[in-house]
Structure 1
Amino acid sequence: MKHFSKLISDVEITNKTNDKIAAFVDYFTNAPDRDKLWLIAIFTGKRPKRPVKTTVMKQWCMEITGLPEWLFLESYSTVGDLGETMALLLPDPTHEIEKTFSECMQEIVELKAKTDDEKEAYIRHAWSGLEVQERLIFNKLIGGSFRVGVSKKTLVNALAKYSGIEANQLMHSIIGNWNVNSITFEALLNGEHINYDNSKPYPFCLAYALDKELLELGPLSDWQVEYKWDGIRGQIVKRNNEIFIWSRGEELVTEQFPELVEAIKKLEGDFVIDGEILALKDNAILLFNDLQKRLNRKNVTKKLLEDVPIGFYVYDMMEWNNEDIRERPLSFRRDLLEKLFDAASTDNKTLFRSEILTAENWSDLIPIRAEARSMDSEGLMLKQKSSPYHTGRKKGDWWKWKVDPLTIDAVMIYAQKGSGRRSGHYTDYTFAVKKDDGLVTVAKAYSGLTNEEIVQVSRFVKKNSIEKFGPVRTVKPELVFEIAFEGIALSNRHKSGVALRFPRISRWRQDKTVDEIDTIENVKQLILSPH
Structure 2
Amino acid sequence: MKQFAQLFNTIDQSTKTTVKVTALADYFGAATDADRMWTIALFSGRRPKRAVTTTKLREWAAEQAGIPLWLFEESYSIVGDLAETIALVLPPVSTQTDGTLSHWIDHLRGLTDLDETARKTAVLAAWSHLGGTERFVFNKLITGGFRMGVSQKLMTRALAKSTGKPETELAHRLMGNWHPDTTEWADLIEAEDVSTDASRPYPFYLAHALDDGPHLLGPPSEWRAEWKWDGIRGQLILRDGQYFVWSRGEELMTDRFPELARTVDMLPPGTVLDGELLVWQANSQKPDNFNALQKRIGRKTVPKKLRTEAPVVLHAYDLLEWGGTDIRDRPFVQRRALLEQACAQLPPDAPVRLSPQLDIDGWEELAELRRGSRDENAEGVMIKRADSPYRIGRKKGDWWKWKLDPLTIDAVMIYAQSGHGRRANLFTDFTFAVWNGNDLVPFTKAYSGLTDAEFGEITKWVRKNTLQRFGPVRQVTPHHVFEIAFEGIQASPRHKSGVALRFPRMSRWRQDKPLQEANTLDDLNDMLRIYG
TM-score (norm 2): 0.84
**Is 1:294 aligned with 2:297?**
yes
Residue aligning to 2:425? 424
Give the Å deviation of 1:30.
Answer: 1.8
Measure the CA separation in 2 of the matches of 1:143 and 1:160: 31
Query: Secondary structure, in 3 states, of the residue corresponding to 2:106?
Result: helix
TM superposition shift of 1:442? 2.3
Alignment partner of 1:413: what SS? strand
Cα deviations by residue, 1:125-179 (Å, 9 ceiling, x for unpaired): 3322321322222223333443334344443443333223345654555555555
Q: How far does residue 96 in structure 1 lie from its aligned partner after superposition? A: 2.0
* Distance in 2 between residues matched to 1:494 and 1:129, nearest whole Å: 46
- Counterpart of 2:460 in structure 1 is 459
Q: Which residue of 2 aligns with 1:265?
A: 264
Give how far 1:346 is off.
6.0
Aligned twin of 1:37: 37
Q: Distance in 2 between matches of 1:165 and 1:304?
A: 48
Match of 1:3 in 2: 3
Q: Which moved more, 1:447-456 or 1:303-312?
A: 303-312
Offset of residue 409 of structure 1: 0.8
Q: Distance in 2 between matches of 1:182 and 1:133?
A: 29
Report matched runs for 1:82-161 at 5 Å. 82-161=82-161
1:54-69 map, 5 Å:
54-69=54-69
Q: How does 1:255-334 map to 2 (within 5 A)?
A: 255=254, 258-259=257-258, 261-269=260-268, 270-278=270-278, 284-287=287-290, 291=294, 294=297, 299-300=300-301, 302=303, 306=307, 310-322=312-324, 333-334=335-336
Change (3 A) 1:207 1:15: closer
Contact 2:278–2:314 (Cα < 8 Å) also in 1? yes
Q: Tell me if the contact between 1:315 and 1:353 (Cα under 8 Å) persists in the aligned partners.
A: yes
1:203-262 CA-partner distances (Å, limit 9, x unpaired): 6374662745769965x787654222133433444455454555556x364546543651
Partner amino acid for 2:11? V
How far apart, CA to CA, are the structure 1 residues paired with 2:98 and 2:408?
Answer: 56
CA contact (8 A) 1:273 1:314 kept: yes
SS in 1 for 2:67: coil
Query: Is 2:502 the counterpart of 1:497?
Result: no
The question of whether the paired residues in 2 share the 8 Å contact of 1:294 and 1:308 is answered with: no
Instruction: Summarize the Cα distance change of 1:273–1:302 in structure 2 as closer, same or farther, 3 Å threshold.
Output: same
Q: Which string of whole-angstrom CA distances, capped at 9 and with x for unpartnered residues, describes residues 36-87 of structure 1?
A: 2333344455544444443333223222333222212111111222232222
The residue identity in structure 2 corresponding to 1:294 is I
Show the counterpart of 2:443. 442
Aligned-partner residue type, residue 522 of structure 1: D
281 and 416 in structure 1: CA distance in 2 versus 1, 3 angstrom threshold? farther
Q: Read off the aligned partner of 2:162 and give its amino acid letter.
A: Y
Contact 2:177 2:252 in 1 (8 A): no
User: In the alignment, is the contact (CA less than 8 A) between 1:267 and 1:340 conserved in 2?
Assistant: no
Partner in structure 2 of residue 187 of structure 1: 187
C-alpha contact 2:231 2:293 (8 A) present in aligned 1: no
Q: What is the identity, as a one-letter code, of the residue corresponding to 2:111?
A: L
Q: Distance in 1 between matches of 2:30 and 2:305?
A: 44
In 1, Cα distance between the equivalents of 2:216 and 2:125? 72
Separation in structure 2 between the aligned mates of residue 419 and residue 50 of structure 1, nearest angstrom: 20
| Matched residue, 1:337 | 339
Tell me if 1:481 matches 2:492.
no
Distance in 1, Cα, partners of 2:399 & 2:122: 58
Residue 339 of structure 1 and its aligned partner are, at CA, apart by 2.5
Shift of 1:515: 0.5
User: 1: CA distance between counterparts of 2:349 and 2:182?
Assistant: 44
State the match for 2:70 in structure 1.
70
| 1:24 paired to 2:27 | no
Deviation of the 1:457 alpha carbon: 1.0
Which letter maps to 1:262?
A: A
Alpha-carbon separation, structure 1, partners of 2:144 and 2:347: 47
1:297-329 superposed Cα distances (whole Å, 9 cap, x missing partner): 8x4454997487543221233444356666766
Code of the residue aligned with 2:263 in structure 1: it is I
Corresponding residue of 1:527: 528
Distance 1:398 1:94, change over 3 A: closer
State the Cα distance separating 1:434 from its structure 2 match.
Answer: 0.8
Q: Which amino acid aligns with 1:370?
A: R
Distance 1:97 1:160, change over 3 A: same
Distance 1:69 1:376, change over 3 A: same
Of residues 460-469 and 330-339 in structure 1, the stretch that sits farther from structure 2 once superposed is 330-339
**1:219-238 equivalence runs, <5 A:** 224-238=224-238
The one-letter amino acid of 2:378's match is S
The alpha-carbon distance between structure 1 residues 338 and 424, as it changes in their structure 2 partners (threshold 3 A), is same
**SS of the residue 2:113 aligns to:** coil
Mapped to 2, the partners of 1:154 and 1:6 lie a distance apart of 18
Shift of 1:510: 0.8
Letter in 2 for 1:285: D
* SS, match of residue 165 in structure 1: coil
Q: Partners in 2 of 1:362 and 1:172 — Cα distance?
A: 35
Separation in 2 of the partners of 1:238 and 1:519?
A: 50
Q: Are the structure 2 counterparts of residues 105 and 418 from structure 1 closer, same or farther at C-alpha, using a change threshold of 3 Å? A: same
Residues 72 and 197 (structure 1), Cα distance of their counterparts in 2 relative to 1, 3 Å cut: closer
- Give CA deviations for 1:356-388 in whole Å, capped at 9, x if unaligned: 34568765555533221132211233456x544
State the SS of the aligned residue for 1:404: coil
Question: Gaps (5+ residues) in structure 1?
Answer: none
In the alignment, the residues of structure 1 paired with residue 367 and residue 502 of structure 2 have an alpha-carbon distance, to the nearest angstrom, of 23
> Deviation at 1:122?
3.0
Residue 521 of structure 1, CA deviation: 0.8
Residues 379 and 402, structure 1, Cα contact 8 Å, conserved in 2: yes
Which residues in structure 2 correspond to 1:356-371 (within 5 Å)?
356-358=357-359, 365-371=366-372
2:408 alignment partner in structure 1:
407
Structure 2 gaps, min length 5 = none
Relative to 1, partners in 2 of residues 1:433 and 1:138: Cα closer, same or farther, differing over 3 Å?
Answer: same
What whole-Å deviation, never above 9, does each CA across 1:411-464 have from its counterpart, x for those lacking one?
A: 111222211122121112221111122112222222211111111011111111
The one-letter code matched in structure 1 to 2:445 is K
Taking the aligned partners of 1:59 and 1:104, their CA distance within structure 2 comes to 22
Work out whether residues 332 and 388 of structure 2, in 8 Å CA contact, stay in contact via their aligned partners in 1: yes
Amino acid in the other structure paired with 1:519: T
Aligned-CA RMSD value:
3.7
Change in 2 beyond 3 A, CA 1:427/1:433: same
Q: CA deviation at 1:492?
A: 2.2
Q: In 2, Cα distance between the equivalents of 1:515 and 1:305?
A: 44
Residue aligned with 1:136, SS: helix
What residue is the counterpart of 1:381 in the other structure?
382
Shifted more, 503-512 versus 489-498: the winner is 489-498
Matched-pair contact (CA < 8 Å) for 1:201–1:246: no
Preserved contact between residue 331 and residue 387 of structure 2 (Cα < 8 Å): yes
Contact 1:266–1:345, Cα closer than 8 Å, also in 2: no
CA distance in 1, matches of 2:503, 2:372: 19
